[in-house]
Structure 1
Amino acid sequence: MQGIKGILFDKDGTLVDFQKTWFAIGDLMALKAADGDRERANALLELAGYDFANHRFKADSVFAAGTNAEIVALWYPDASEEERQAITAGFNTMTAQAGAAASVPLPGSKDAIAALHGSGFRLGVATNDSTSGAEQTLLALGIAQMFDAAYGYDAVANPKPAPDAIHAFADLTGLKPSEIAMVGDNRHDLEMARAGGAGLVVAVLSGTGTRETLAPMADVILNSVADLPGFLGTA
């Protein structure tokens, strides 16, 4: 841990309360895809990973861990590639604006970011949301100035679980991947960290992942980002 100089964070479920922020937005997306048909929209939500019985998105489901492009491919299987690109662009705009406006920070996350930034860590976000969505959310939370960069799925050639965002952040900051910690709540986050050679892989239980799904890939499991400064000895 002494060699860690930079930290990449997943966004939803790590910095932002996933369930409180995203169900309403996901419901709007599903209703749009279903042309307003409530029953069909519910079926699409279930297909994307929403568990109506427990009122939450399932760990590692398409909606919890995937991109808007993957959601569109799932919901519009008969659409042409051109049609899917147009629908994805519309969803990107919708989720960037609505996600930022509705974003609910996880308890203690903003204080933790301030403490880590104040201790000299280079900070970034790697998300399967769009880059615009990530940047607008950081601005809405009032913490954008503490981050060097935000990488959405559309900012890299290959989104999570590919290691592209780790490499991009290393290139930007001049750090080695082994000097970067990755913090996330889904297996995609941890798989990216492993693939990219991150020096520390931190799982948090504040999102859709569970201890059982995260433990095989994590170096450490914390309850939330609020515990990270203490773990890194900067609190």
Structure 2
Amino acid sequence: MIGGIIFDKDGTLFDFRRTWAEWAARLTLELAQGDAARAEALGRVVGFDLATRDFAWDSPVIGGTPVELAALLAPHLPGCVPARLVERMNTLAADVPLAEAVPLRPLLQGLRARGLRIGLVTNDAEMPAHAHLNRAGVADLFDFVAGCDSGHGAKPAPGQLLAFCAAMGLAPREVVMVGDSLHDLHAGAHAGMRRIGVLTGIARTAELAPHADTVLPDIGSLPAWLDRQAAA
């Protein structure tokens, strides 16, 4: 029996390219002080193409934490203080233009009406995660929110997912992890949960399917999947 669903944020609740390309462009241009060529070079460090506003399939932006991204960028920024860079990245992240993968409020209301507990675990920091849920008007529908700095570790380790289980009084086998990246699916596997991949991130079916119980086009397909599980 399924008692809870944990969502990744970027690429799952929000379309990855439409949300994070603007953040990456703003960040690299700001760090390069408007020098487009230098901004393009910084973008390549984190797997972002400034010209096309797109990400490489293995971009560390997809699953990395702000601290990890700062560590990659800092050697290319003379005098950079990584902690201050992390703060700036989080500030820019809180203000990204959000693009919902599907209309979130009706979907989440429907899941809660089934009696499910709803969680969010992200490798983004907790502050921008709460900011995004508030701006999307769905913060009240989440029972649990954890970022990479919430004290539970970061994906692909299972700490955030197990913290959700402990807070909700659920066993891992009663929870489904939903995400767009291998970090999400590996975290779910390490936690002992069922795993659903979605295609609103950068990874494709061929990459996600070997590590997921199923791959769906987007989270809008979750109610039908839940109905099939109940029927089975």
TM norm structure 1: 0.90
- d(CA) in 2 for partners of 1:224, 1:90: 31
- d(CA) in 1 for partners of 2:60, 2:39: 15
Give the alignment partner of residue 56 of structure 2, picking from 48, 58, 68: 58
Give the alignment partner of residue 16 of structure 2, picking from 14, 18, 35: 18
- d(CA) in 1 for partners of 2:192, 2:221: 23
Who is 1:143 aligned against? 138
Unaligned 5+ segments in structure 2 are none
Give the alignment partner of residue 210 of structure 2, picking from 213, 216, 220: 216
Give the alignment partner of residue 27 of structure 1, picking from 19, 25, 28: 25
Give the alignment partner of residue 118 of structure 1, picking from 113, 119, 126: 113
Who is 1:195 aligned against? 190
**Kept after mapping to 1: 8 A contact 2:25/2:53:** no
Q: Number of paired residues? A: 228
- d(CA) in 2 for partners of 1:131, 1:201: 23
User: Could you list the per-position Cα deviations for residues 118-156 of structure 1 after superposition, in whole angstroms to 9, with x for gaps in the alignment?
Assistant: 111100111111111111111111111110111111113
Residue 176 (structure 1) aligned with residue 171 (structure 2): yes
Q: CA deviation at 1:53?
A: 7.5
Unaligned 5+ segments in structure 1 are none
- d(CA) in 1 for partners of 2:107, 2:70: 34
**Kept after mapping to 1: 8 A contact 2:196/2:215:** yes
Q: CA deviation at 1:77?
A: 2.2
**Kept after mapping to 1: 8 A contact 2:104/2:138:** no
Who is 2:73 aligned against? 75
**Kept after mapping to 2: 8 A contact 1:130/1:152:** yes
Who is 2:123 aligned against? 128
**Kept after mapping to 2: 8 A contact 1:111/1:226:** no
Aligned structure 1 segments of 4 or more residues deviating by more than 3 angstroms: 51-55
Who is 1:103 aligned against? 98
Who is 1:87 aligned against? 85
**Kept after mapping to 2: 8 A contact 1:8/1:125:** yes
Who is 2:220 aligned against? 226
- d(CA) in 1 for partners of 2:182, 2:44: 20
Give the alignment partner of residue 153 of structure 1, picking from 134, 148, 161: 148
- d(CA) in 2 for partners of 1:27, 1:185: 22
1:94 counterpart SS class: helix
Q: CA deviation at 1:108?
A: 3.9
- d(CA) in 2 for partners of 1:223, 1:58: 20
Aligned-pair Cα RMSD in Å: 2.1
CA pair 155-60 structure 1, distance change in 2 beyond 3 A:
farther
- d(CA) in 2 for partners of 1:60, 1:115: 34
